[in-house]
A and B are shown apart, each in its own frame.
Chain A
Amino acid sequence: MGEPATGLEPVRLRWGWLATMLAVLLGAVLAGITVGPAGIGPGQVIGELLGAGLAGRPSTLSSIQQAIIWEIRLPRVALGGLVGGLLSLAGASYQGVFRNPLADPYLLGVAAGGGLGATVVIALVPGAGSSLLPLAAFVGASVAVALTYAVGRSMGGRSAVSLILAGVAVAAFFTAVQTYILQRNADTIRQVYSWILGLLATTGWREVLVLVPYAVVCGAGLVLHRRLLDVMSVGDEEVDSLGISALRVRTTVVVLATLATAAAVAVSGLIGFVGIVIPHTIRLLVGVSYRSLIPISAVAGAAFLILADLAARTVASPAELPIGVITAFVGAPFFMVVLRTSRRYVA
């Protein structure tokens, strides 16, 4: 004893896994742009993206094919990637600060709160621009997460399930209010209803551009908190005894994660389970440290939602399923498995 051991592995990002997930994301992007009724092959897509897009050479595709790639499929893939990344990032962050393996933007009622906020704007503020939607969704989502947390704690504290039950109640209430507003404003029902089920149908690049600043701010903020999320795993009292305010960390991270959720909900509606499926899968692969979990979950979430959207477009082709149906189809059984395996937190 005495001499310090050499070669203690520092806790750091698992670059190998990040590279793997980036490769998966790249594959998902290519598939998302290639697959569809227009019959453009993967080679043509790569040639168009690299040749015409990056190198500036004249395109070999017809102008219709170019428009399909640049104005329809690429923005849709970009939107799916951003929404998936944000939801996954938010889920991982909520799980960290609430020390709750079941936390997810959808299950905490955050998405429903965001949905209500956005619905109020769509139904009651005619002519409001789409840039107002994320802010309205953020207000609704913040109220929802605060309510869920307060109710969950008042139900007796530390159980993971009590927080989720509170989230279910809050989500049900917000959804009821939302339905009421819709019934009173029947002319907007169709617009809002398709959006409630989660939709990535876009009109070009507008939604993507709305989302980019939120993705940058929330992504950077949460990545900066990755070590503090590890610290949070020892419980508030011990966190405080390490000289960090657990309340301050939780507040900051919840604001960032809620902002990420609200931005995603505002452009794509309610897409559930991404925030629980992806972080748990990544945890199995890379371990529990948030230093790897946060960035790798974001990339994997992006790939997952692009592929889910691909399924939504093709499974019942030519009809299109809401993407929320696809994620719930995968996510709900997954959630049950998580519920079973995390019984020790639940007890």
Chain B
Amino acid sequence: MSVIIDRLSVSYRPGAPVLRELSLDVNAGEWLGLLGPNGAGKSTLLKAIAGLVEHTGSILLRGVDAGSLRHRDRARCVAFVPQEPVIPPGMTVTEYVLLGRTPHLPYLGTEGRGDLTVAASALALLDLEPFANRSMSALSGGERRRVVLARAIAQQADILLLDEPTGALDIGQGQNALELIGYLREERPMTIITAMHDLTLAGQFADRLLLMAGGRVVADGPAAQVLTAEYIREFYQANVEVVSVNSGVAVLPIRNGAR
């Protein structure tokens, strides 16, 4: 499902816009990585697409104005995974994954057979069947992340938004998290937009990168075009060397003054 954003502006406080007239087309099936220093507006852009913040300008989801959609219909198109999802203590994995069926249920309704089947296949897709009856509190960090993804998959939305899927993870966990998203995309055609902190991972996993600063887009294109030492110096104030690797580019921080 394509996303077309036209002159999107968001202000949490009057006179201090977080996004400034941002325009962007995301093709169906594309994996777009949002980059930029803290405060660039990456999370806010994701929240605006998910319908969680007030905005001006328009967002079209597969050609339909998202503002005209009912909340529930929008949630059937867009699944949002925040940086730190709330893990309800004591809730079982099945109960949690079934929450993803909410947009498909009547307001006061409960899940039927079909919803259980969808949840079961989401658990199967992420190899979580053995955990179905476990408590969320008893899972490791990596397992929880997979369960959160399973909930988003159970939502059956064509657009998956992930805010910092590698935030607070060690190097191995971070890589695994992105491998998992890549694997999901092969299994189910989805448009994926991720806000990303780790430039090296971004340069190897996303199809296309968008560098944001001060609520605007400053660079847009494939990794080799966006992840340049010049851009990174200008917008992150970081001294780096960009290295070409088989799967994309890697960004190495270089200590100032070293040669």
Question: Of A2, A3, A241, A289, which is within 8 A of B91 by CB?
Answer: A289
Q: A4-B121, A241-B50 are in contact. Are A231 and B99 (CB under 8 A)?
A: yes
Query: Which residues from chain A contact B51 at a C-beta distance below 8 Å?
Result: 240-241
Least Cβ–Cβ distance between A80 and chain B, in angstroms:
30
Least Cβ–Cβ distance between A233 and chain B, in angstroms:
4
Interface residues of A in 228-247 (CB under 8 A from B): 228, 230-231, 233-235, 237-238, 240-245
**Nearest opposing residue in chain A for B155, CB measure:** A242
B117 on the A face (CB < 8 A): yes
Query: Which residues from chain A contact B108 at a C-beta distance below 8 Å?
Result: 224-225, 227-228
Question: Of A8, A227, A241, A242, which is within 8 A of B110 by CB?
Answer: A227
**B85–A238 touching, CB < 8 Å:** yes
Q: A4-B121, A227-B109 are in contact. Are A243 and B85 (CB under 8 A)?
A: no
Interface size class of B (residues with CB under 8 A): 35 or more
- Number of A interface residues at 8 Å Cβ cutoff, please give it: 34
A64 on the B face (CB < 8 A): no
Interface string of B83-126 (1 = CB under 8 A from A): 00110111110110011101101011111000011111101110
Question: Of B52, B105, B119, which is within 8 A of A240 by CB?
Answer: B52
Interface string of A241-257 (1 = CB under 8 A from B): 11111000000000000
**Nearest opposing residue in chain A for B128, CB measure:** A5
Determine chain A's interface SS by DSSP, over half rule. loop
**Nearest opposing residue in chain B for A248, CB measure:** B107
**A231–B102 touching, CB < 8 Å:** yes
**B94–A283 touching, CB < 8 Å:** no
**B100–A230 touching, CB < 8 Å:** no
Question: Of B85, B109, B110, B123, which is within 8 A of A5 by CB?
Answer: B123
Q: A1-B125, A227-B110, A287-B90 are in contact. Are A242 and B102 (CB under 8 A)?
A: yes
**A11–B103 touching, CB < 8 Å:** no
B127 on the A face (CB < 8 A): yes
**Nearest opposing residue in chain B for A240, CB measure:** B52
**B86–A238 touching, CB < 8 Å:** yes
**B50–A6 touching, CB < 8 Å:** no
| 25 A-B pairs in the complex with CB atoms less than 8 angstroms apart | A3-B124, A4-B118, A4-B120, A5-B121, A5-B129, A5-B132, A6-B120, A8-B116, A9-B132, A9-B133, A10-B111, A11-B95, A12-B110, A227-B109, A231-B102, A233-B88, A234-B86, A237-B47, A238-B85, A241-B52, A241-B75, A242-B100, A244-B71, A283-B90, A288-B90
- B contact set with A: CB distance below 8 Å: 47, 50-52, 70-76, 78-80, 82, 85-86, 88-92, 94-95, 98-100, 102-103, 105, 107-111, 116-121, 123-125, 127, 129, 132-133, 155
Known pairs A9-B133, A238-B80, A243-B74. 14 more at Cβ < 8 A? A5-B124, A8-B116, A11-B95, A11-B110, A12-B110, A227-B105, A227-B108, A230-B99, A237-B47, A238-B86, A241-B52, A241-B75, A242-B102, A291-B110
